[in-house]
Amino acid sequence: MSAESHEIASLGVIGAGQMGNGIAHVAALAGLPVVLIDVRAEALTQALATIGRNLERQVQKAALTSEDRDAALAHITTAGDNTALSGCDIVIEAATEREETKLAILAGLVPHLKPNAIIASNTSSIPITRLAAVTDRPHKVIGMHFMNPVPVMKLVEVIRGIATDEPTFAAVEALARRMGKTVAVAEDYPAFIVNRVLIPMINEAVFALMEGVGSVIAIDTAMKLGTNQPMGPLELADFIGLDTCLAIMRVLHEGMGDSKYRPCPLLVKYVEAGWLGRKSRRGFYDYTQQPPCPTR
């Protein structure tokens, strides 16, 4: 990537979980060489298997050819540490939604990057300006908030920190479009656009459940049929992860200083119990049964 053009020709992804492997998938499908990093070898193995299955699903639906699938897989390499990112034009951090984890990753990443490399975070709520401050290049740090599941969802929120320069923004906007995404530009306020609106709605649904306004089934049915949403808020919370919902509510509460963002005590209780939703097989629904059964 030249300093003049800021054209992104190679990409790194830190974190091989659900979001990271999805980002690697769409980047590789767009023809970009991708380096996928995770300290856990088993996470990288699982990520490649997931990407392969998801690409094959697209082939079965005639959305891709088998040649497209094979070419995308050939674009992805994996590694266990940041030294493999030295040639990347942009590195996207896709670790868990904990500020201390992201700050440590970004601070440790800097020595391994070339001077003009862009750093992006897939954070869903943490201010970009605060993340950028631990790097040596705040003007080249930006938010790229992909939606889950990444290969399916069309939106990317692009968030500039206070120091993010125009060439960085232009390069990242072009990258998102190359990946087939629609860009929504958000200001650097806690939780940005989607989660600023969505997660308090979920939190309010949990309050409604706690206060006995309705059962899990009643709340989800009412919101699905009453507002034409594909999932009810409690089912969606389980899909997102209750720990992630709680983390975002805490960022909003701290960042905005407004009691309307107070996390629901029942949400806190579920997370403390380890009932995190689909990934732990129990949240507002019990996923050890088919069909899933409400837990409250």
Give the residue numbers marked as catalytic.
124, 145, 157, 195
Q: How far apart are CA 116 and CA 90, in angstroms?
A: 9
Cα separation of the two ends of the chain: 53
Q: Find, among 14, 18, 192, the residue nearest to 119 by Cα.
A: 14
* Residue 181, SS3 per DSSP: coil
The 10 Å Cβ neighbour count of residue 208 is 20
By the 8 A CB rule, do 152 and 137 touch?
A: no
Task: Annotate 4-38 with DSSP letters as a single string.
Answer: TT-----EEEE--SHHHHHHHHHHHHTT--EEEE-
By the 8 A CB rule, do 294 and 283 touch?
A: no
Pairing of strands 155-160, 141-146: antiparallel
Q: Find, among 131, 125, 133, 142, the residue nearest to 101 by Cα.
A: 131
Q: Residues 6 or more apart from 205 whose CB is under 8 A from it? A: 219, 223, 232, 233, 234, 237
Place of tokens 């070339």: 114
